[in-house]
Chains A and B, each alone.
Chain A
Amino acid sequence: MTGPMGTGAGPKLELRGVKKRFGGKVVLDGVDIAVERGRSLVIIGGSGQGKSVTLKIAIGLMRPDAGKVLVDGRDVTRLGGAARRALATQFGMLFQGAALFDSLSVWENVAFRLVNADRVKRPEARARAVAALGRVGLGPEVADLYPGELSGGMQKRVGLARAVAAEPAILFFDEPTTGLDPINADMINDLIVEQVQRLGCTAVSITHDMVSARKIGDEIAMLHNGQIVWRGPTAEIDDSGNPYVDQFIHGRATGPITGGA
């Protein structure tokens, strides 16, 4: 298995000319984006612009109609079966709704990959799950609860613990702060930054929460009309000179972006 830092030079993850349409509707129309090893990229964009689709293609949950996905410079677009499962051991993802398995207890969720894919013995897996819960600020008393018994903020934390439990090389976050109050949102942001630094991993997040984007991103890219219309360091987002970005970060109803989805 590749360690968190991976090997070789070049970007850790790259999308090249990725296109995707559903029926007659073009969602992605040639997305080019690369993330350097150990960097955190945030993709912003309006609702329905295809942020989630971009993330699903990057992690291999969806196949693009055209274009490539490269991990460590290797084309993984068409991997399936065992090769795909092996590649997925490098990935961790926090889903928008946490996507915890509601038939399993909290610790079984966190240790899911350890128990089911890596075949680690349950007592050891449980100990590692409790440790992972500790890192996201949850005590061992939470381990035996079920996801339905947790608040939204706690579910997000458990989802984060599950995503980082197997020490992935790339972490994906789909709208990590959506649906949380500002204080819980900020705690999640802090935890994300902390975990990404601890693991030294590469991170790709999507959000339309600018507070979150500024906090967790080294770089920000904006997706609009199926393409990346701007990309730059987080510090430069306020002086991007890009009318789409300006309209988005200031939340103005008037500008080049016109309603729609």
Chain B
Amino acid sequence: MNPVQAVGRSTLGMARTAGAVALFAGRGVAAALTPPLFLGQLWRQLAQIGYFSLPVVGLTAVFTGAALALNIYTGGGRFNAEQIMPQIVALGITRELGPVLAALMLAGRVSAAIAAEIGAMRATEQIDALRTLSTDPFRYLVAPRLAAAVIVLPLLTVVADIIGIAGGWSVAVASLNFNGALYVKNTWDFLQSWDVVSGLIKSAVFGFIVALMGCYHGYNATGGARGVGRATTHAVVSAAILIFASDYLLTSVFSHK
């Protein structure tokens, strides 16, 4: 195959995949917005996706906030701007790192778990069984996961924002001789609600991506256990890439505001 053909073929392949994913997403959203809804499943997923992700998200945020504070303090010192470190940390966490890191943790934990679970259900004909029992798998499996991730990731991001800023605060107070109360006041006075809100909008989109990639790859898994393994990997990788790409897109849209 010559290079032009190869490029053409992979472009076509990508276009086909994008179309299939868009169709899948459309069906999932339609199922989430129209009855019958499976609220029991939604609760279950909220717990699975949200509650059990708190520890990893919290840990990631606290260390990142602390490291970010140190870096900015050191860097800022080069032009005597150490004192605005709290503001920069707050901005970095709320606008960028809180949403992205929480989303990446969820991509690793939740996309993979969703793809594995739905992929195994596909391999063992449980998805076919759902349909023979008059239950639409998009309503029973896909919609609750999409909805739960969209609801939960912004909440996790709020937690990540708070813990991340607290991480920066701890380092500042413990080893950089900042005044704790002043640090909080500076952060609070500086932050605008849009800094936080724009991050939360991003994280809702990321939540959708995380659940969508898990569901899509799991649902389309073929070839038994190996297929499930492949689906899991693809779900995590594609979720991560889409998170970064949409992060840039959304940020550039927001920055025109």
Closest A residue to B136 by beta carbon equals: A85
Chain A nearest CB from B54 CB (Å) reads 22
Q: Beyond A99-B126, A101-B126, is A93–B132 a contact (Cβ under 8 Å)?
A: yes
Q: Which segment of A68-76, A111-119, A195-203 sits at the interface?
A: A111-119
Q: Beyond A116-B38, A116-B140, is A99–B129 a contact (Cβ under 8 Å)?
A: yes
Interface membership of B246, Cβ < 8 A:
no
Pair B125/A116 contact, Cβ less than 8 Å: no
A60-97 interface mask toward B, CB cutoff 8 Å, 1 = contact, 0 = none? 11000000000000000000000001101101110111
Chain A nearest CB from B40 CB (Å) reads 9
Q: Beyond A95-B125, A96-B125, A99-B126, is A88–B38 a contact (Cβ under 8 Å)?
A: no
Pair B129/A116 contact, Cβ less than 8 Å: no
Instruction: Report the separation of the CA atoms of residues A92 and B131 in the bound assembly, to the nearest whole angstrom.
Output: 10
Count: A-B pairs, CB below 8 Å: 52
Chain B nearest CB from A223 CB (Å) reads 20
Q: How many residues of A contact B (CB 8 A)?
A: 25
Interface membership of A132, Cβ < 8 A:
no
Pair A112/B124 contact, Cβ less than 8 Å: no
Q: Beyond A116-B38, A116-B140, is A95–B134 a contact (Cβ under 8 Å)?
A: no
Instruction: Report the separation of the CA atoms of residues A186 and B218 in the bound assembly, to the nearest whole angstrom.
Output: 36
Pair B128/A95 contact, Cβ less than 8 Å: yes
Pair A113/B134 contact, Cβ less than 8 Å: yes
Instruction: Report the separation of the CA atoms of residues A92 and B133 in the bound assembly, to the nearest whole angstrom.
Output: 7
Instruction: Report the separation of the CA atoms of residues A34 and B124 in the bound assembly, to the nearest whole angstrom.
Output: 29
Pair A85/B134 contact, Cβ less than 8 Å: yes
Instruction: Report the separation of the CA atoms of residues A252 and B128 in the bound assembly, to the nearest whole angstrom.
Output: 34
Closest A residue to B132 by beta carbon equals: A93
Q: Which residues of A sit under 8 angstroms from B17, Cβ to Cβ?
A: none
Q: Which residues of A sit under 8 angstroms from B131, Cβ to Cβ?
A: 60-61, 88
Q: What are 12 sample pairs from A and B whose C-beta atoms fall under 8 A apart?
A: A56-B128, A59-B132, A61-B128, A85-B134, A86-B134, A88-B131, A88-B134, A93-B129, A99-B128, A100-B126, A116-B134, A117-B134
B124's partner among A85, A89, A99 (CB-CB below 8 A) is: A99
Q: Which residues of A sit under 8 angstroms from B125, Cβ to Cβ?
A: 95-97, 99
B112-124 interface mask toward A, CB cutoff 8 Å, 1 = contact, 0 = none? 0000010001001
